A and B are shown apart, each in its own frame.
Chain A
Amino acid sequence: MISVYYFGAIALVLIGLYAILVKKNLLKILIGLSIMETGVNLLLISIGYVSGRSAPILSEGIGPSQAVDPIPQALVLTAIVIGVATTAMALSVAMLIYEKYGTLNIEEIRRLRG
Chain B
Amino acid sequence: MASKVIHALYNDDDLLLQAVKQIREGRYHIGEIYTPFPVHGLDKAMGLATTRIAIASFMYGIVGLGVAVAMMNFIMIEDWPQDIGGKPSFSYIQNMPAFVPIMFELTVFFAAHLMVITFYMRSKLWPFKKAENPDLRTTDDMFLVEIDASHHDVNDLTNFLYDTGAAEINLIEK
* A, B bound: no
